[in-house]
Amino acid sequence: MLLSIVTPFYNEEEAIDAFFSRLTGLLAETMPTYDIEFVCVDDGSNDDTLAILQARAINDSRIQVVELARNFGKEAALTAGLWVARGDAVIPIDADLQDPPEMIPEMVRLWAEEGFDVVEAKRVDRRADGFIKRFTAKAFYKFNNAIAAMPIPENTGDFRLMSRQVVDVINSLPERQRFMKGIFAWVGFRRTKVEFVREQRIAGASKWNQWRLWNLALESITSFSTWPLRVWTYLGAGIAGLAFLYGLILIIFTMVGGRDVPGYASLMSAILFMGGVQLIGIGILGEYLGRTYLESKQRPIFIIRGIYAQNGEKPAPSITIKDDIV
């Protein structure tokens, strides 16, 4: 049995030594009968991350270093890692080790002995994250799961175990704009979960600021729900109904007792309100139209510059999804 550990790296030079020290010791002690491979995806780092990973690959035959041609983002880097991984089971885990690798033996047991295709790791305590991040994460899960056709398990990130069959299905999906947590939930299969307490980062700082998290949330909502488009039908119908009632009231009052022409302030308020509503609706249409435009170009999700292992550099392989070059 081959177990693949897939990890995207972006400017994580300070965390690499601690990451491998903790994982290699743990896996050697708890799972000596499994073959292990580490698929390390360098997502266009501009520090010494790639050089450190390459040096480790030379000294450790279990390590493959996938160098992307530029920074494509974590979702693309994770996709590249899943595509390269050869394991019977694949476990994505972040380099910062906020998701404790000590959960891996239990995840493997649930897969190997109890037959689960997916073993999700759920965070039951997020005190290691700041208050704003915890609050926004909770709000995102509640809103997204209220409107999405396929809810995302709350407080469940990329850290999980997936069988070979699940990974093959994910790799076969043709979409380019990827929200991996949503895709993990969408494919289904027999799944269970383990719970853990989220830890502090071992080194460095998070690359996810509030703006990037907001964009990721938009990616999730527009990828798995058409509710933001549908709601404008109901909103428009509601506003039209109110306008009709208001117009009817004006007619009645004017016919009965006469009425002055409404003033400038009320007119401008109505115009600005309706203009704002229309612009919001156009913006949401633009989000979906933009996704359609990006998908129609069929550009690759990622570009591999090279794959490095103990025997040196391997040529970058072709990336094929459903016979289309991506």
Q: Tell me which DSSP letter residue 202 carries.
A: S
More confident residue, 134 or 173: 173
For the chain, give the percent of residues with pLDDT over 70. 71
**pLDDT score recorded for residue 319:** 47
d(CA 103, CA 101): 5
Report whether pLDDT(287) > 80. no
**pLDDT score recorded for residue 186:** 81
Segment among 9-23, 95-109, 175-189, 245-259 with least mean pLDDT:
245-259
Report whether pLDDT(48) > 80. yes
**pLDDT score recorded for residue 113:** 86
Strand partners of residue 160: 120
Which amino acid would we find at residue 218?
Answer: L
Tens of pLDDT, residues 146-158:
666 677 777 777 8
Report whether pLDDT(324) > 60. no
**pLDDT score recorded for residue 323:** 38
- Residue 224 banded pLDDT, cuts 50, 70, 90: low
Is residue 216 within 8 A of residue 179, CB to CB? The reply is: yes
Alpha helices in the chain (DSSP H): 16-30, 49-59, 74-84, 104-114, 131-147, 164-172, 180-186, 210-224, 227-257, 264-297
- Residue 70 banded pLDDT, cuts 50, 70, 90: confident
Is residue 201 within 8 A of residue 99, CB to CB? The reply is: no
Report whether pLDDT(21) > 60. yes
Best CA proximity match to 77, nearest among 53, 108, 101: 53
What is the torsion angle, in degrees rounded to the nearest 10, for the CA atoms of residue 241, residue 247, residue 249 and residue 255?
A: -150
Between the CA of residue 310 and those of 16, 263, 318, what are the distances in Å?
17, 79, 21
Beta strand pairing status for 191-197 and 304-309?
Answer: unpaired
The mean per-residue pLDDT over the stretch 86-105 comes to 87
Is residue 219 within 8 A of residue 177, CB to CB? The reply is: yes
- Residue 211 banded pLDDT, cuts 50, 70, 90: low
Instruction: Report the chain's terminal Cα–Cα distance, integer Å.
Output: 30
Is residue 221 within 8 A of residue 139, CB to CB? The reply is: no
More confident residue, 110 or 271: 110
d(CA 89, CA 108): 8
Q: How much is the mean pLDDT over the chain?
A: 76
Report whether pLDDT(321) > 50. no
Which amino acid would we find at residue 159?
Answer: F
d(CA 234, CA 238): 6
**pLDDT score recorded for residue 236:** 74
